[in-house]
Amino acid sequence: MILRAERIMVIGCSGGGKSTLAQKLASHFDLTYLSIDRDIRWLPGWVERGREEQRQRIIERIAGERWIMDGTNTSTFDIRLPRTDIVIWVRMPRLLCVWGVMTRWLKHIGRTRPEMAPGCIEKVDWQFLEFIWTFEKKFTPRITAAIAAHGPHIPVLQVKSRRQMRALLDLLGMPA
């Protein structure tokens, strides 16, 4: 299914590897890489765009025929899922997500990471760590309900470990 997919959503908790996976798939399959954080949600300095502007930006970007978008944001599933061929749901254990966020922060400390909007300096605070720690419990029901409501026919591939991530990349003939 992934081999034939031209429009892919990659969702999951921060730090789980969804942006890295999406960028690898975009490069390998020559898809346009779209980041909710960089392209849709944030303006410089962590200023959030308004909901309607975010939705309009998504509509404009998903009008294309070949793309991969990383970012969960269930409030936009109603416009994204109907244009999606497959969803890859990265569901890493929360300790791995915390580790991913902390190593990403250390790598980009004092700078903006490439998949983030300009001027959004990488940061980690207790609120963000709590978001990660409670993500599965709080957001899995929302994600499941949004998929059922707006894309029940869309295949969902769940990746729950680094081993599964490597196996997926191996199956696709890609380096891990």
The residue range of the domain holding 151 is 2-170
Establish if 138 belongs to a structural domain.
Answer: yes
Q: What is the mean pLDDT of residues 93-103?
A: 98
Q: Has residue 143 got a pLDDT over 90?
A: yes
CB 136 within 8 A of CB 92: no
Calculate what percentage of the chain has a pLDDT beyond 70: 100
- Closest residue by Cα to residue 94 from 30, 6, 14, 29: 14
Overall number of domains in the chain: 1
- The token pair at 134 is 């409670």
CB 132 within 8 A of CB 94: yes
Three-point CA angle 80, 144, 63, nearest 5° = 5
State which H helix or E strand residue 158 sits in.
strand 156-159
Supply the pLDDT for residue 84: 98
- The token pair at 115 is 């998949």
Establish if 175 belongs to a structural domain.
Answer: no
Q: Mind listing the pLDDT tens digit for each residue in 109-121?
A: 999 998 899 999 9
Establish if 151 belongs to a structural domain.
Answer: yes
Establish if 32 belongs to a structural domain.
Answer: yes
Supply the pLDDT for residue 160: 98
Supply the pLDDT for residue 115: 86
What DSSP line would sit under 60-101, residue for residue? Answer: HHHTSSSEEEE---GGGHHHHGGG-SEEEEE---HHHHHHHH
Q: Has residue 139 got a pLDDT over 90?
A: yes
Establish if 64 belongs to a structural domain.
Answer: yes
78: domain CATH number is 3.40.50.300
Q: Has residue 176 got a pLDDT over 80?
A: no
Confidence (pTM):
0.95
Residue 122 dihedral angles phi and psi, to the nearest 5°: -55, 130
Q: Mind listing the pLDDT tens digit for each residue in 26-63?
A: 999 999 999 999 999 999 999 999 999 999 999 999 99
Q: How far apart are CA 51 and CA 40, in angstroms?
A: 10
Establish if 176 belongs to a structural domain.
Answer: no
Establish if 158 belongs to a structural domain.
Answer: yes
Supply the pLDDT for residue 3: 85
Name residue, tokens 């591939």: 157
